[in-house]
């Protein structure tokens, strides 16, 4: 059974310490309400909580999901679970790869910006 991984986006933002504004830019959206709905802390979810109902995040739409994955170079499978397991590399592995790429870029930038002797 394939299902949407509602926790991925929240975990990814927390682990990478990415600002909500940057994520909204990545998906081409200027409204934070969509992002909060995807994270499960939007207005609809707050009303559910006030009524004592279980909170359900809203799945990210396909276009935004593709933009997000392209922007951060993540496989789209991180958003899906098959039999309870990630269809693509786990969020931890995806984050590990992203962090490795960021360190490589930082090394290149520091080499470029290093003063000449």
The count of other CB atoms within 10 Å of the CB of residue 68 is 21
Note the pLDDT of residue 92. Answer: 62
Partnered with residue 3 across adjacent β-strands are 81
Partnered with residue 2 across adjacent β-strands are 82
Q: Which CATH number fits domain 2-112: 1.10.287, 1.10.260, 1.10.10, 1.20.140?
A: 1.10.260
Sorted by sequence, the CB contacts under 8 Å of residue 95 that are 6+ apart come out as 12, 15, 16
Task: Report whether 3 contacts 37 (CB < 8 A).
Answer: no
State pLDDT tens for residues 23-68. 999 998 877 778 888 887 777 778 888 888 877 777 888 888 899 9
Q: What is the residue extent of each domain of the chain?
A: 2-112
Partnered with residue 72 across adjacent β-strands are none
Confidence of residue 91 (pLDDT cuts 50, 70, 90): low
């Amino acid at each position: 059974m394939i299902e949407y991984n509602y926790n991925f986006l929240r975990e990814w933002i927390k682990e990478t310490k990415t600002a909500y504004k940057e994520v909204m830019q990545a998906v081409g959206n200027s409204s934070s309400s969509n992002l909060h709905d995807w994270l499960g802390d939007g207005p609809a979810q707050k009303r559910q909580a006030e009524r004592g109902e279980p909170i359900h995040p809203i799945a990210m739409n396909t276009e935004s999901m593709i933009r997000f994955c392209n922007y951060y170079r993540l496989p789209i499978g991180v958003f899906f679970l098959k039999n309870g397991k990630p269809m693509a590399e786990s969020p931890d592995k995806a984050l590990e790869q992203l962090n490795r790429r960021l360190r490589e870029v930082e090394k290149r930038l520091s080499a470029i910006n290093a003063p000449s002797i």
